[in-house]
Amino acid sequence: MGGGLGRTPMIGKKIAGFVPKEDLLAYLEAVMRVYNMYGRRDNIYKARIKILVHEIGVEEMTRQVEAEFAELRKAGALHLPLEEVARIEAYFQPPSHENLPDDSAELNKAVLADRDFANWVKSNVAQHKVPGYAIVNISLKPIGGVPGDCTSDQMDAVAGIAEKYSFDELRVTHEQNLTLAHVRKKDLHAVYDLLKAHGLATPNIGLITDQIACPGLDYCALANARSIPLAQQISERFADIERQHEIGELKINTSGCINACGHHHVGHIGILGVDKKGVEYYQVTLGGAADEKTAIGDIVGRAFTEDEVVDAIETIVTTYIGVRQNGERFIDTYRRVGIDPFKESLYETH
């Protein structure tokens, strides 16, 4: 793979760009072999490929993987038969969509007549590539609820809705929500009514209360701090839906420890639980993103106590509203102004 490689993104580029499809299994096997040889399986806290890459560096990791891959290819082992790829692809064919006009009179009428429905459409419904259809995101983030939780009754209800209105297809997202991938626009209000009847019509997808939180200290033996109660407090602080829409797109991700199951490092606002002499603290990062401009968030300063952290989030939001221009998103404001205004307002008041 040669020298002069950059950091992690170069590995992704190389694998995606140059491994022939039929060699994918062999390449993955090579990665696993290198990890098995050098990874820290002796230490539960360090048994991760990312730890190995961090310790030996991307270039050395790449060199080792390429050497293993070359051996596997020489042995002619682990070819991925293209017929197998075709067989698996057949499972992922799109359903038989109807030929529909893209505009739906039923939908337009319902949006005008029902403000709550209009709010839900605005935040939870996304454009579908097929005319007359839409993608429905079901929020599992009711105000004050546990992010990603769903009762058995709700699961039954959603399964029924998927069966009737979305070709029996339901997806779970990494953002701890559910997605109905193919709903006819003219059925959106009926789907909304059913979701609402089961407490599943929270109109907050992509907004400040649509947080990702790992299980944290309530359930996880590796945690330094609690994640779920903190997410609940933040949700309650920003409960007002009009205010949420006024704040706009803002992703808060919380992890209870550095293992980062809540992807705090790529949250617009990231919160990481840290342990200081047996006391739970929260380190805040800003400017992380998992979009096309992927970025790791910047640490804003000293960590906050449990009592301080929700106020700190409020201060960050207020600072953003104060400096944003022309309704730009939080992340765009951060990219424009940097960390200093946030640092100043946070450590002036905390």
What would the two tokens of residue 74 be?
């020489």
The answer to whether 304 and 285 are in contact (CB under 8 A) is no
Query: Is residue 130 part of the contact set for ligand SF4 (CB under 6 A)?
Result: no
* Nearest CB to ligand SF4, comparing residues 262 and 267: 262
In the complex, the smallest distance separating the C-beta of residue 228 from ligand SF4, rounded to whole angstroms, is 10
* Nearest CB to ligand SF4, comparing residues 175 and 187: 175
- Using DSSP's 3-state secondary structure scheme, residue 295 falls into strand
Which residue has 């939870």 as its token pair? 124
State the binding string over 239-258 for ligand SF4 (x if CB under 6 A, else -). ----------------xxx-
In the complex, the smallest distance separating the C-beta of residue 226 from ligand SF4, rounded to whole angstroms, is 9
From the list 8, 154, 173, 259, which residue makes contact with ligand SF4 (rule: CB under 6 A)? 259
Which regions of the chain does DSSP assign to beta strands (E)?
125-127, 133-138, 171-172, 178-184, 212-213, 252-255, 269-276, 279-286, 298-299, 304-305
- Using DSSP's 3-state secondary structure scheme, residue 267 falls into coil
Output phi, psi for 276, to 5 deg. -120, 105
* DSSP codes, 3-64: S---SHHHHHHHHHHHS-GGGHHHHHHHHHHHHHHHS-TT-TTT-SHHHHHHHH-HHHHHHH
In the complex, the smallest distance separating the C-beta of residue 161 from ligand SF4, rounded to whole angstroms, is 30
* Nearest CB to ligand SF4, comparing residues 40 and 97: 40
**Residues 204-233 contacting ligand SF4, CB under 6 A:** 214-216, 220, 222-223
Query: Is residue 146 part of the contact set for ligand SF4 (CB under 6 A)?
Result: no
Tell me the number of residues near ligand SF4 by CB under 6 A.
13
* Nearest CB to ligand SF4, comparing residues 138 and 261: 261
Query: Is residue 297 part of the contact set for ligand SF4 (CB under 6 A)?
Result: no
Gap between the Cα atoms of 206 and 46, Å rounded: 32
Binding residues for ligand SF4 (CB under 6 A): 214-216, 220, 222-223, 255-257, 259-262
